[in-house]
Amino acid sequence: MLETPLIGRYQGEDKRLAFLPPWPYLLLVRAVTAAGIVFTLNSFFGFLPGFWSGWWFFVGMMLVLAAVMAGLSLHRVLFDLRERSYKRRQGPGFFPRSTSGSLSNLDAVQLIAEPSGRRVTYHLLLHWKQGMEPSMILHQETRSIGPGQPLGLAADNIRNIGVRWAKSLGVTFYDNSHYASPNPTAIWR
């Protein structure tokens, strides 16, 4: 799957529910940005030995551009549970789409199971009413199950997480982990 997984966590004494990229992704974006800046500055000041200054400038600018593109491409959604509103950012590159609205626009949190041999990937999907926004993968876990066992057998942990988040958001939770579902990421359909 090409989509960066999100990590859900409560912030500020459960006032907000945030779904953000994991910290290693954010750290990598910052590290690449810093390396690009150092390389670009080296092209002017020459504090690192080695290559021609034009090479340092070119590689440094490419690293900075790649880091900016990566940072802007990361999805995130923040739910303000007190104000009953959300802010969502998604989309590739320099033109990510930012939307906001009321939690009353949310429809449901759904648990689905995507089998692959003896492994099952469980996805928690967030749906908006009347398709106002594309569905969003909030969380996923991959578990192993034995032959002949039901798909939903190992879904207890993610089911409990989904029930808690759905209750916080004030939406219905649907457990469809006992049905085989395709990968919810559009690129695989």
Of the listed ranges 9-18, 84-93, 135-144, 155-164, the one predicted with least confidence: 84-93
Say what the pTM is: 0.79
Amino acid at 124: L
Q: Kindly report the average pLDDT of the chain as a whole number.
A: 88
Output the pLDDT for position 2: 55
Q: Lowest-pLDDT range, 48-57, 69-78, 157-166, 175-184? A: 48-57
- Name the token pair of 62: 């490419």
Q: What is the pLDDT of residue 188?
A: 41
Q: Which helix (H) or strand (E) holds 99?
A: strand 97-102
Q: Decide: helix, strand or coil at residue 183.
A: coil
Q: Residue ranges per domain, the chain?
A: 7-21+75-188, 23-73
The listed CATH number (2.60.220, 3.30.450, 2.30.29, 2.60.40) that belongs to domain 7-21+75-188: 2.30.29
Phi then psi for residue 70, to 5 deg, are -65, -45
pLDDT at 1: 40
What type of residue sits at position 130?
Answer: Q
51 pLDDT band, cuts 50/70/90, is confident
Q: How far apart are CA 22 and CA 47, in angstroms?
A: 34
CA angle 179, 10, 135 (to 5 degrees): 40
